[in-house]
Amino acid sequence: MVYFVIILPIVLLLLAYRLIFTSKTHRFNLPPGPPALPVAGHLHLLKPPVHRLFLRFSDKYGPIFSLRFGSRRVVVVSSSALARECFTGKNDIVLSNRPRFLTPKYVAYNYTTVGTAPYGDHWRNLRRVCAVEILSTHRLTNFLHVRKDEIFRMLTRLSRDNVGGFAQVELEPLLSDLTFNNIVRMVTGKTYYGDEIHNEEEANLFKKLVAEINDNSGASHPADYLPFLKVFGHKYEKKVKAIGEAMDEFLQRLLDECRQDKDGNTMVSHLLSLQEQQPEYYTDIIIKGLMLGMMLAGTDTSAVTLEWAMSSLLNHPEALDRARSEIDEKIGQDHLIDEPDIDNLPYLQNVVSETFRLYPAAPLLVPRSPTENIKIGGYDVPRDTIVLVNAWTIHRDPELWTDPEKFEPERFRNRCGGGEADVHRIMPFGNGRRSCPGAGLGQRIVALALGSLIQCFDWEKVNGGAIDMREAPGMAMRKMVPLRALCRPRPIMGKLLAKSAA
């Protein structure tokens, strides 16, 4: 009986594979791709980092190729021209759905958050709330004091144990705390990491839950691709469900605290005022989903980008010297760089753009799934296919960029840090109508924090050796070896600390 239960689904799947994938493939002009195994398809080929593997496939099969992950078709796009085809006109609408995986069902409130909801009226309203009510230019400007305060905290921590000489520091924890605190304060008014943690247990729980969600995001279990494995996947499903329940309890506590704080000026307090006006739509679940999306999307990505930027500047001291000279000339050493100053620092903007190009935090854009059969590059892409855009490959395409592997901020000198001409050539925040609504916030915190680090400290490499620029596996493109560097406070830090103490 045990063998029967195990073998029968496999036999049925093999028959279904022959019926579905053999017969339907003849009806579609699918993009080319490598030979596939029965049942598993190309799952056995997936070895991290996947964006580099997909680059090798695109070199062999062309800028669009197809794969099969178990029972699910996958099409990978690796050129700017085809990305434009995906994200403009009718295709952008048809490709505005997300493929469904197990984790968002339990963590993202059954696919009702702005990042996971199907394209339609509900998603459009969530997007409008993000763009107008939460992440508008006016609201981001109102939260400038939070960004400045958290950056000053980071600078103070860097200088605390330094008495004038160079001290060795690991930047990742500082950058992570900076971006986490910034988002959480904007959303709820609470500060979690730094010198004064009022509830260390709560802070550690939050960090643990975010790490677990990131580790289990996407399709992390073979059952997402091989349906018959769901029979054996109850343990994974139970685990993901428990993560979702724990995060929901955490968010509900935060929401209840914000509800009691009548004078709060946070994103949640604004959403609660909308809840009073339209309680049937702005339920606690909708608000918690918006909180979750902000906290997950706005923390790791900015911290990862800042670490890549500092690593690149340390490996290219001439670029670091030029960025420092620009800041010294236009801002000086009497006051800390402010957000309005960024417009007058084109080279700093170019450094940020070049970091986004070479080291996008999401090398593969969040997957799309067409709601009907479409064509991309002359090939058929059937409905429900998982469509992936390899932004990392496009950002390094020699047909688009001279010396694409080289860190060269000067390439953006005539673009003022990027513009409309680059929208399908560089896309660190995605593309089309489902691009990241927090792009403006991400650019602001990265530019202001990076400029502050350059203005307030001298930086050198440890032992003079090159910084390791290998990327670690995972959805967010982290550095494999965390950045350690030598830093020494510049005169402005003494002035800032004295002013703060006065």
Q: In CATH, what number is assigned to the domain containing residue 173?
A: 1.10.630.10
* 327 pLDDT more than 90: yes
Q: Compare 457 and 205 and report the one with higher pLDDT.
A: 457
Q: Which of 413, 410, 366 is nearest to 391 (CA)?
A: 366
| Whole-number Å distance between alpha carbons of 357 and 361 | 10
Q: How many CB atoms lie within 10 A of CB 476?
A: 18
Asked if residue 90 is part of any domain, the answer here is no
| % of the chain beyond a pLDDT of 70 | 89
- The pLDDT tens digits of the residues spanning 458-472 come to 999 998 889 999 998
- The pLDDT tens digits of the residues spanning 10-36 come to 544 544 554 455 445 558 999 999 999
Maximum average pLDDT range among 56-70, 263-277, 421-435: 56-70
**315-331 core/surface letters (b: 16 or more CB in 10 A; e: else):** ebeebbebbbebbeeeb
Asked if residue 334 is part of any domain, the answer here is yes
Asked if residue 30 is part of any domain, the answer here is no
Asked if residue 386 is part of any domain, the answer here is yes
Q: Residue with structure tokens 């029967």?
A: 4
| Whole-number Å distance between alpha carbons of 187 and 291 | 7
Whether the upstream peptide bond of residue 317 has omega within 30° of 0, thus cis, is: no
Give me the pLDDT at residue 3, please: 42
Count of structural domains, the chain:
1
Asked if residue 71 is part of any domain, the answer here is no
Asked if residue 53 is part of any domain, the answer here is no
* Least confident residue range of 168-177, 396-405, 409-418: 409-418
Mean per-residue pLDDT for 54-66? 98
Domain that holds residue 397: 121-501
Pairing, β 386-389 against β 72-77:
parallel
Per-residue DSSP letter, 487: E
Mean per-residue pLDDT for 383-397? 97
Q: Compare 87 and 180 and report the one with higher pLDDT.
A: 87
Model confidence at 4, pLDDT cuts 50, 70, 90, reads very low
Give me the pLDDT at residue 193, please: 63
Per-residue DSSP letter, 40: T
Asked if residue 56 is part of any domain, the answer here is no
Give me the pLDDT at residue 207, please: 80
Asked if residue 23 is part of any domain, the answer here is no
DSSP assignment string, 56-90? HHHHHH-SEEEEEETTEEEEEE-SHHHHHHHSSHH
